Chains A and B, each alone.
Chain A
Amino acid sequence: MNHLIIAPVLLPLLTAIVLLLGTGRPPRIQRGISFISVCAQLAVALVLLSIAAGDQTLVYALGNWAPPFGIVLVLDRLSALMVALTASLAFFSLWYAARGNDKPTDSLHSVMHFLLMGVNGAFLTGDLFNLFVFFEVLLIASYTLLLHGGGAARIKSGLHYVLLNLIGSSLFLIAAALLYGLTGTLNMADMAVKVANTSAEQAPLMHAAALLLLVVFGLKAAMVPLYFWLPRAYASASAPVAAMFCIMTKIGIYAIIRMYSLVFGTEAGLLANVASPWLWPLALITLTLGAAGALAARELRLQIAYLVVVSVGTMLAGVALNSVAALGATLYYLLHSTWVCAALFLLADIIMRQRGATSDRIITGPRLKQPVLLGTVFFIGAAAVIGMPPLSGFIGKVMLMRSAVSDEQTFWLWFLLLASSIVMVTALSRSGSTIFWRTENRTAKADKADHLALAAVMALFACTLALSFAASPVVNYTQATAAQIMAPNNYIDAVLSHQTVEGVHHE
């Protein structure tokens, strides 16, 4: 049994506890511990990524209890990819935070590691109820992170976020209890087998449970009509938190991919592909409304938050297409959009500090201290997020558009993706030209941007550049991941035939 699989859960947990015990110590120590830990997590995640690249599904039975009775952690290509993405994002946002952008320091670092524990656990677990528990761990951490720093705007959007997610948790529990009552199991692989053999009598109830889960994951992923909490919440969060939150919508998308390929996938008998008829139109509406929101936004951070909604719509459309090519393109786009949106949130923070009282509102304001440097970085970021050639967004979108099969799918996907891109060009050129060019004849009293903080932003952009120039290996990995997801029998066999270590339980 490979114990490394549980490290992405245990490492942040231990770090968070140590950081909590160290409350009141100098920020330098807190940041140091936090940063060393996140480097270790990144190393672990990369090792897991290389293990998963062997196309083997690794199962870790917690407490050595045999599945389907005990809880299992499962490492396949998809979970390894998501854990690695989380670690890289945490690395950059904690890097940015450690440059003095984390006041009050005590609470931010420990809670960030609790969040990482929940996120990694949600990606790795193979048990539905355990998924709920990890969701709660990451949610309670995200509630505190969202409120980090205080202030009326954060409290208001935080209240919406907390209340909506609490209702979401209740719905998750109803769906989980319903599925347990019908199948008698909570292990996802075992549930997949049971769901495939559903009788016609039980099918309607099962259908209700499946769609209830879609509501819950749709709320996490910010799918129409459940995305209204997102823009305000992200726009009011502090910069490192907003950057880290770029992974939050992807958790919903991960859960949708996992549940609706493994349990309610093509081989689920009466319940095959229950989510597809809903996902497709909702994804396209999300895409459209996100683009409209970006055009209407009056603050830069709000605009970036709407770009997150656009990316969610794009990815959900890829999931709804339900083919290996589309899913591979979606995962590639997922990597791209997470890094780019996080970088834009950090960049917006640097920009608004140099604009004095004008903050991040898209109106004429004082000249920036470093207009050329920040303007260039903003231009690259805008081009990447819109999907201009030759950057990674372009490659992702082209792959996605090429994977549409039927005429109807092709029409709607091409039309809406290209239309939303032109809308995003308009929106971002408006904000960019207003902030950098239509300035008053004075410079606000502000310091130059911290070199190392700006380096974090540039390193994030470098990741997306690497994604475009080294697209071939990444695409190979995501396509292989998609192929593995679309063949859930390997996952099911790996979990159900898992042998526990002998001679541990003496009974």
Chain B
Amino acid sequence: MEILISAVIAILTSCGVYLLLRGRTFPIILGLTLLTYAVNLFIFMSGRLNTSASTIIGVGDQYADPLPQALVLTAIVISFAMTAFVLVLALRARAELGNDHVDGRNSIEEIKS
């Protein structure tokens, strides 16, 4: 289970970082989304992996740490809002600059000139 979870986080992070290094806004936003998924899973895992443990003390022998669940909820809400904002900004940049390159320039020729 540990290996599976860490592999999932690793794959999500590496795909996210790869996409972040692209030159156009849409892949970058996708990359950011993947990265935040990885981060959310990672925060969740900081409470350790438990099976059939409730988050309330006194119900069973084992209990899970409730704090990472609260943290991940906050992180999800914030990243959700930020992704929405950056999507609108990217659309606006596309309209204002005429292309979707992060530097606002389309080709190598334009950059050189």
* Chain B interface main SS type: helix
A328–chain B nearest beta-carbon distance, Å: 36
Residues on the B chain within 8 Å of A181, using CB: 45-48
Query: B42 contacts A155, CB within 8 Å?
Result: no
Taking the closest CB of chain A, its distance from the CB of B93, in whole angstroms, is: 5
- Choice from A147, A167, A177, A180 contacting B20 with Cβ under 8 Å: A167
By the criterion of a CB under 8 Å from any partner CB, how many residues of chain B are at the interface?
33
Per-position binary interface string of chain A over residues 164-193, scored 1 when its CB falls under 8 Å from any chain B CB and 0 otherwise: 001101100110111011000010000000
25 interchain pairs, CB-CB under 8 A: A129-B71, A133-B78, A136-B82, A140-B81, A140-B85, A143-B89, A152-B97, A155-B96, A155-B104, A156-B93, A156-B97, A156-B103, A159-B89, A159-B90, A159-B102, A162-B89, A166-B32, A169-B82, A170-B79, A173-B43, A176-B43, A177-B43, A177-B68, A177-B71, A181-B45
CA–CA, A159 and B92, complex, Å: 10
Whether the Cβ atoms of A159 and B82 lie closer than 8 Å is no
Residues in B whose Cβ lies below 8 Å from that of A163? 28, 32, 86, 102
Residues of B within 8 Å of A170, CB to CB, are 32, 35-36, 39, 79
CA distance A166 to B35 in the complex (A): 10
Docked-complex contact A180 and B28, CB < 8 angstroms: no
Query: Chain A interface (Cβ within 8 Å of chain B)?
Result: 129, 133, 136, 140, 143, 147, 151-152, 155-156, 158-160, 162-163, 166-167, 169-170, 173-174, 176-178, 180-181, 186
Query: Is B75 part of the contact surface with A, judged by Cβ < 8 Å?
Result: yes
Interface residues of A, dominant DSSP: helix
- Contact call B102/A136, Cβ cutoff below 8 A: no
Cβ contact within 8 Å between A159 and B93: yes
- CA A180 to CA B86, docked complex, whole Å: 29
CB of B67 closer than 8 Å to a CB of A: yes
Q: Which 10 A-B pairs have the closest CB atoms?
A: A181-B46, A177-B43, A177-B46, A156-B104, A173-B39, A152-B96, A155-B93, A170-B39, A155-B96, A180-B46
Quote the shortest CB–CB distance from B41 to chain A (angstroms).
10
Q: Which residues on the B side are within 8 Å of A160 (C-beta)?
A: 102
**Closest CB-CB distance, A141 to chain B, in whole Å?**
11
The answer to whether the Cβ of B74 comes within 8 Å of any Cβ in the partner chain is yes
A464 and B103 CA atoms in complex are apart in Å by 37
Binary CB contact string for chain B from 46 to 57 against chain A (1 if under 8 A, 0 otherwise):
111000000000
Question: How distant is the Cα of A155 from the Cα of B86 in the complex, in angstroms?
Answer: 11
A159 in contact with B25 (CB, 8 Å): yes
Residues of B within 8 A of A169 (CB): 78-79, 82
Q: Out of A167, A174, A180, name the residue touching B68 (CB < 8 Å).
A: A180
- Find chain B residues with CB under 8 A from A133 CB: 74, 78
Q: Which residues of B contact A162 (CB under 8 A)?
A: 85-86, 89
Would you give the shortest CB distance from B76 to chain A, in whole angstroms? Answer: 11
Please measure, in the bound complex, the distance between the C-alpha atom of A170 and the C-alpha atom of B82, giving whole angstroms: 11
Chain B residue nearest in CB terms to A158 = B89
The answer for the CA separation of A162 and B83 in the assembled complex, in Å, is 10
Say yes or no: A155-B92 contact (C-beta < 8 A), given A140-B82, A163-B102, A181-B46: yes
